[in-house]
DNA sequence: TTGAAAGCGCTAACAG
DNA sequence: CTGTTAGCGCTTTCAA
């Protein structure tokens, strides 16, 4: 269907050099079975004619595609964007190609994508699950088909696999503790509706920090946002406007920090005077918000890079095997003016 | 090398149904040559056995891969992240897969990537060139090989191809005019070192707005940043600290808005009282910066989406042809408090 | 409407 | 060290 220009093939090279196709093939891949002289002859012709092998033919023969599939919820999110950067750096370095798929937080899309991967389209998968992902059979099915998979950031605890994460529990604990030390009595915890392990860990960190500091854990101080619902925003505003008003907020998701700022602005509440705020975020602009936002900053690039490295290393082995290890790369608490000094 | 699980093949299906491989193949692709009854039989078995075709074998046979290559400078940039979103939406909708490549602003990498595309790895390319891209033979070579390519945002004027851009000249003109109307006399224009057409257009908009308003165009008011150099930042600071200090700044690139804020903070200059600032930016946080940043906001999602749509439409045709049209989707000037009212 | 046969361009034993 | 022989799994004429 494509009017593709007659691309050079191994066969043509073979004819030109009076060698066999397989010799050329091996020479190009620098096989030890081939003499240096013929390698040189071959490479010269390859250069001269600008021969570029057909990757799909190679894949078919060798049963691997030199490509990895990256499945993430969003790309407009500084965490994921930076993680992709890390992934790409490793891929690039090792001659892998990167197929990107966005689930937009939909488990249906996630299933669809993983199912497609059963085709052998990718040699391995890097996955950060959607908020909707509660069941995980689709992940197991793929892995059982022999497709290596490494989770990063948003992992599923129940699935046995290699995982690269950050210390969500501790970070949330520290964040909460900071607010408490700073005198907050009513601390809101904002998150999106989901069953993500990562959310739970953050929530538990928050909860335990409260309890360890003899503060009540109040169910109603957990605000669970639906996607972009106005209602949730109004609830947040209400919480910040009661007589016994919330005086601290932890936005456990990057996107939820801004609504807090917005609400405070509309209510003419001072941050950090009236309300102190901490956000889980990789925003480069955090330092320039009004006021600068104290953040839990995840090592996004490193997480992506490490996950990719794990996968690529495994793919390089004769017998592919991931150790099912969990690598934890700690986040950093960056103090700024949204929490009082 | 891969211990891939014995994947189902057409041959196996054929045997089970007592049909030929080609019949199955056609049935699966819903060919009109196949009777409805056999189509049904085939599809039932396909469902039951969960048959998934090998994409690389298909590619080899059909000479197209159903994947597009997206080449961009960075992904940690809200413009590109949003553009990817647009691209992905179209790809997804049309059954295309998306390979992502980052040049990190290096023309060498860009060349390497485009050269790889000569292999037939992708059916078409979406390209936003690196800052270093001055020559463009690598792009022409690829196109001459018959690989369809659509530029988006950062185009190369000299190359004939379809392009999706925004109105950079007008936007910069409007931005400059706004500052002038607001009383600015010394307006800095910040950009990165490059020969990008897009930069030139913005610069010209700035220049002409000055001239049309009887203000001098001063070469030294153009600050050209190298990548992350401290020196440039210091120069910016100096410009903001002269007796005849700059009183307006246009950051013609998203990344350069923050240094301005930083410099003003360090110099204790008030925005917009002492200096008014406008940034070309898609930052969601713009509204929450201190003060909220007036921006030229590009239609990132639409640009990506439109470029992808153009490409995909062309790929769907028997005889692939792009009309070499240039589609312009206008940006929006969003007034916020970094420019006085 | 179906099927046989000939590839697509490359890899991979295995011989020589 | 090089070549021969089979495929990889699918698409595509072209006959039947």
Q: Which residues in chain B, range 108-147, keep a C-beta under 7 Å from any nucleic strand C atom?
A: none
Is any atom of strand C within 7 angstroms of residue B38's beta carbon? yes
Question: By mean pLDDT, which of A129-133, A224-228, B221-225 is the weakest?
Answer: A224-228
> For residue A3, is pLDDT > 60?
no
Residue among A51, A55, A4 nearest A27 (CA): A51
Question: By mean pLDDT, which of A180-189, B172-181, B219-228 is the weakest?
Answer: B219-228
Give B275→chain A minimum CA distance, Å: 16
Q: What would the mean pLDDT of B71-75 be, rounded to a whole number?
A: 97
Percent of chain A whose pLDDT exceeds 90: 91
Residues 6+ apart with CB under 8 A from A274: A245, A247, A264
Mean pLDDT (chain B, rounded)? 94
The answer to whether residue B284 neighbours chain A at the CB level (below 8 Å) is: yes
Residues 11 to 50 of A: which have CB under 8 A from any B CB? 50
How do residues B107-158 score in pLDDT, each as one tens digit? 999 999 999 999 999 999 999 999 998 899 999 999 999 999 999 999 999 9
DSSP string covering A141-160, please? HHHHTT--EEEESS--TTS-
Contact A52 B118 (CB under 8 A): yes
Mean pLDDT (chain A, rounded)? 94
- Nearest nucleic acid nucleotide to B58, CA to C1' distance: D10
Beta-strand ranges (E) seen in chain A are 67-72, 97-102, 124-127, 149-152, 162-165, 187-192, 222-225, 248-251, 276-280, 294-297, 326-328, 332-334
Which pTM was predicted? Answer: 0.95
Higher-pLDDT residue of B19 and A229 is: B19
> Measured between alpha carbons, how far is A25 from A27 in angstroms, rounded to an integer?
5
Chain B residues with CB under 8 Å of A52 CB are: 115-116, 118-119
> For residue A2, is pLDDT > 80?
no
The answer to whether residue B316 neighbours chain A at the CB level (below 8 Å) is: no
How do residues B152-187 score in pLDDT, each as one tens digit? 999 999 999 999 999 999 999 999 999 999 999 999
User: Starting at the edge strand that comes first in sequence, how are the strands of the sheet with A124-127 ordered?
Assistant: A326-328, A162-165, A149-152, A124-127, A67-72, A97-102, B97-102, B67-72, B124-127, B149-152, B162-165, B326-328
Beta pairing partners, A250: A189, A278
Contact A60 B57 (CB under 8 A): yes
Model confidence at B6, pLDDT cuts 50, 70, 90, reads: low
> For residue B5, is pLDDT > 60?
no
Q: Which residue of B has its CA nearest to A97?
A: B99
Quick one: how far is CA A315 from the chain centroid? 19
Q: What would the mean pLDDT of B72-93 be, rounded to a whole number?
A: 97
Contact A81 B67 (CB under 8 A): no
Q: What would the mean pLDDT of A65-77 be, rounded to a whole number?
A: 97
> For residue B3, is pLDDT > 80?
no
Is any atom of strand D within 7 angstroms of residue B16's beta carbon? no
Q: What would the mean pLDDT of A4-28 be, rounded to a whole number?
A: 88
Q: Which residues in chain A, range 62-101, keep a C-beta under 7 Å from any nucleic strand D atom?
A: 63
Of A2, A74, A77, the CB nearest to B64: A2
Contact B99 A101 (CB under 8 A): no
A200-204 long-range contacts (CB < 8 A, ≥24 apart) are: A201/A168, A201/A169, A201/A172, A202/A168, A202/A169, A202/A171, A202/A172, A202/A252, A202/A280, A203/A172, A203/A252, A204/A169, A204/A172
Give, in order, the Cα–Cα distances in Å from A3 to each of A37, B1, B114.
Answer: 37, 33, 19
Model confidence at A5, pLDDT cuts 50, 70, 90, reads: low
Contact B52 A5 (CB under 8 A): no
- Nearest nucleic acid nucleotide to A34, CA to C1' distance: D1
Q: What are phi and psi of A222, to 5 degrees?
A: -90, 115
Model confidence at A72, pLDDT cuts 50, 70, 90, reads: very high
> Measured between alpha carbons, how far is B173 from B166 in angstroms, rounded to an integer?
13
Model confidence at A318, pLDDT cuts 50, 70, 90, reads: confident
pLDDT number for residue B246: 93
How do residues A259-310 score in pLDDT, each as one tens digit? 999 999 999 999 999 999 999 999 999 999 999 999 999 999 999 999 999 9
> For residue A4, is pLDDT > 60?
no
- Whether A98 contacts A124, CB under 8 Å: no
Query: What domains can be seen in chain B, in order of their start residue?
Result: 3-53 (1.10.260.40), 62-166+300-329 (3.40.50.2300), 168-297 (3.40.50.2300)
How do residues A187-243 score in pLDDT, each as one tens digit? 999 999 999 999 999 999 999 999 999 999 999 999 999 977 899 999 999 999 988
Give A208→chain B minimum CA distance, Å: 31
- Whether A285 contacts B289, CB under 8 Å: yes
> Measured between alpha carbons, how far is B23 from B45 in angstroms, rounded to an integer?
14
Is any atom of strand D within 7 angstroms of residue A270's beta carbon? no
Chain A residues with CB under 8 Å of B77 CB are: 81
- Nearest nucleic acid nucleotide to B9, CA to C1' distance: D9
């Amino acid at each position: 269907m494509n009017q593709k220009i007659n691309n050079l093939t191994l066969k043509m090279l073979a004819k030109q050099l009076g060698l066999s196709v397989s010799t050329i093939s091996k020479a190009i891949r620098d096989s030890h079975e081939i003499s240096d002289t013929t390698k040189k002859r071959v490479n010269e012709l390859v250069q001269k004619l600008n021969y570029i092998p057909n990757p799909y033919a190679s894949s078919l023969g060798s049963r691997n595609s030199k490509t990895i599939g990256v499945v993430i919820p969003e790309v407009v999110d500084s965490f994921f964007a930076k993680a992709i950067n890390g992934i790409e750096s490793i891929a690039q370095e090792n001659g892998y190609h990167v197929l990107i798929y966005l689930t937009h937080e939909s488990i249906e899309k996630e299933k669809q994508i993983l199912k497609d991967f059963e085709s052998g389209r990718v040699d391995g998968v890097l996955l950060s699950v959607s908020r909707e992902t509660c069941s995980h059979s689709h992940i197991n099915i793929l892995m059982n088909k022999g497709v290596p998979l490494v989770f990063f950031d948003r992992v599923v605890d129940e699935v046995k696999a290699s995982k690269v994460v950050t210390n969500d529990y501790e970070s949330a604990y520290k964040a909460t503790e900071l607010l408490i030390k700073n005198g907050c009595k009513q601390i809101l915890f904002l998150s999106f509706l989901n069953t993500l392990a990562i959310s739970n860990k953050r929530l538990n960190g928050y909860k335990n920090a409260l309890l360890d500091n003899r503060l009540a854990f109040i169910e109603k101080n957990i605000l669970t946002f639906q996607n972009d619902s106005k209602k949730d925003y109004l609830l947040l505003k209400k919480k910040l406007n009661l007589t016994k008003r919330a005086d601290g907020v932890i936005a456990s998701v990057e996107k939820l920090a801004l609504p807090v700022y917005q609400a405070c602005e509309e209510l003419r509440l001072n941050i950090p005077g009236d309300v102190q705020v901490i956000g889980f975020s990789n925003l480069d602009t955090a330092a320039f918000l009004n006021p600068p936002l104290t953040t839990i900053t995840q090592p996004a690039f490193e997480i992506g890079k490490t996950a990719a490295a794990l996968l690529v290393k495994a793919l390089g082995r004769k017998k592919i095997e991931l150790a099912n290890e969990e690598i934890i790369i700690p986040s950093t608490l960056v103090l700024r003016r949204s929490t009082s000094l």
